[in-house]
A and B are shown apart, each in its own frame.
Chain A
């Protein structure tokens, strides 16, 4: 059932609408069983989650008899941004994922954030799907703040992702959708993969299998759990960052996701005028190249790569 949960009048002949596609055993009843919300599109340049949600909707429409809980799909939270390749909320240039929980009477982005929380709160589980931005390509991963790791890591392992990254809580991230939902009692997971403005269909299929596995494991769909991969887990290793040592044009010499050893060349930074020789960027340690720069122009400090060094050998 497609519902419009709230609207905000725009100045000239249009309204912002928060829409959700709800699946439940009986659409005449408001909510049944466990409730999960699948979310994407807080950033208007991230389309990977939109694609997964379309595939999940197709699967659910074909398997209505298996639905035992409530599955809410929110593909395009920042719908003005999604429809116009705009990462932020247009006009205000506000990062929607930095202003939660929002307020009911304030700027347009704050009202959107408030309405989203009102719609989603009360869900048992939420999955907030992000692509990377246009600068970086990411391996399929789940990102979890340490504060909530105890409850979230077991759920994250069901999602068929390659990597679970538990990071320290950062104050500024308290204004994210996931943090706000977790603080309200919803187990909210952040999934990230691919690259901005593009689709990576293989990763989308991988996450779809993971979401179905999670739904089955939680009794939201009546199926045997799927076979999923064992992810690397950041508590059992370390993450290396590689930042550009100089400005220029970065040209990679490696493929994303490959295993690397220390002191290998990830790529070179070229001087556009050709005066200085290319500067090599080296791996600081061994592991899996789970982040690789996609957009070539770099300044000193631009992120080139991240490498996860698994010390337990559990990565596949």
Chain B
């Protein structure tokens, strides 16, 4: 393993902004069977994502030390990009609040976050596989899943290599245009988003599940040589299999079903209470049979906000 400073940007007053990358390669570079880049922490709230990536660095380093033939492909892992954001509890670039993950492919003569994206992307281009570890921007507790954007370069079959329960395969939307995942695909890298974790929290169980998924993927594409359980047979889910269940009223939200539960039509999913007098404003029921993939994860809910997301067999 070698550690590289991929980006070093001076600050007006504080320490320099640095992005670190960890490279693994076979003993003979020409022997690499494939190449994989894994990036986490494009925003400063992605604590679970950074931790999972760092745990993977540690895993690979340990096994490479034990077995010189363990690494069979080129691997680059970037556990944290927006390090300033992490150190300040801020999601975006702290000065101008721009989202680094909306600035790709970047611009070397542009604004600071465009330059960060540009210099980072120069290191990330050309990999066969690209994996972005990310959280959800909204307040949801979700089962870990794979996200694929239709781009013409997606590999649906390999989405199952992670062994997660489902992969969400969706159309491009305009807000994808500046994301790392989409731009990777424009440069012909086969990319996946691994979406997991709650905002600004680290859950050991989920971290271990994602670590297993990444190891499984690296083994399946031939980047490492190891044995691992097969994981789930991943369901590829498109929009027509997803049911969104909104709260009709605002108030205090009490979820009654956990993510990962299978429910029947008519089962109680949650309640909304009046925040001030405590009365029940609404009971939310499952409109279909299916698997709960996400629920709203904050005690206060706004009117018409999606309380639950479910997938069904269609």
**A303 and B111 contact, Cβ closer than 8 Å, known pairs A9-B249, A174-B174:** yes
In the complex, what residues of B have CB within 8 A of residue A98's CB?
175
Is B10 a contact of A247 with CB atoms below 8 Å? yes
A93 lies within 8 A of B91 (CB) = yes
Q: What chain A residues lie within 8 Å of B97 (beta carbons)?
A: 87-88
A12 with B275: CB separation less than 8 A: yes
Give the total of A residues in contact with B, Cβ under 8 Å. 42
- The stretch of A18-26, A28-36, A103-111, A120-128 that contacts the partner chain: A103-111
**A154 contacts the other chain (CB 8 A):** no
Q: By CB atoms of chain A within 10 A, which of B111, B137, B249 has the most?
A: B111
Q: Give the residues in chain B near A249, CB-CB below 8 Å.
A: 12
**Size of B's binding interface in residues, CB under 8 A:** 39
Quick check: A302 and B306 within 8 Å, CB to CB?
no
Any A CB within 8 A of the CB of B95? yes
Contact indicator A172/B174 (Cβ below 8 Å): yes
- The reply to whether A106 and B12 contact each other, CB–CB distance below 8 Å, is no
**Does B303 lie within 8 Å of A172, measured CB to CB?**
no
Residues B115 and A11 in contact, CB atoms below 8 Å apart: no
A310 located at the interface, meaning its Cβ lies under 8 Å from any Cβ of chain B in the complex: no
Contact of A243 among B111, B113, B137, B275 (CB under 8 A): B111
- Interfacial chain B residues near A172, Cβ < 8 Å: 102, 174-175, 177-178
Contact B95 A175 (CB under 8 A): no
Q: In this assembly, does A197 line the interface, its C-beta being within 8 Å of a C-beta of chain B? A: no
- Report the bound CA distance from A172 to B304 in whole Å: 26
Tell me whether B288 is interfacial, beta carbon within 8 Å.
Answer: no
> Are B111 and A108 in contact, with the CB atoms below 8 A?
no
Stretch at the interface among A56-64, A207-215, A293-301: A293-301
Which chain B positions have C-beta within 8 A of A202? Answer: none
* B12 and A9 within 8 A (CB): no
- A107 in contact with B276 (CB, 8 Å): no
Residues of A within 8 A of B91 (CB): 93
A2 in contact (CB, < 8 A): no
How far is B192's CA from A312's CA once the two chains are assembled, in angstroms? 50
Neighbour of A299 across the interface among B11, B138, B178, CB < 8 A: B11
Q: Mark A85-123, 1 if CB is under 8 A from B, else 0.
A: 001100011100011000011111001000000000000
User: Does B305 make an interface contact (CB < 8 A)?
Assistant: yes
Residues of chain B lying within 8 A (CB to CB) of residue A272: 12-13
Can you name 24 A-B pairs with beta carbons within 8 Å?
Answer: A8-B303, A11-B250, A11-B252, A11-B302, A12-B276, A12-B300, A98-B175, A104-B304, A105-B244, A106-B244, A106-B306, A107-B306, A111-B302, A111-B304, A172-B175, A172-B178, A249-B12, A272-B12, A273-B13, A298-B12, A299-B11, A299-B112, A300-B112, A301-B111
Residues of B whose CB lies within 8 Å of any CB of A are 9-13, 17, 91, 95-97, 102, 109-115, 137-138, 174-175, 177-178, 244, 246, 249-252, 275-276, 300-306
A8-B302, A173-B174, A299-B17 given; 5 more Cβ-contact pairs under 8 Å? A241-B109, A249-B12, A272-B13, A299-B95, A302-B111
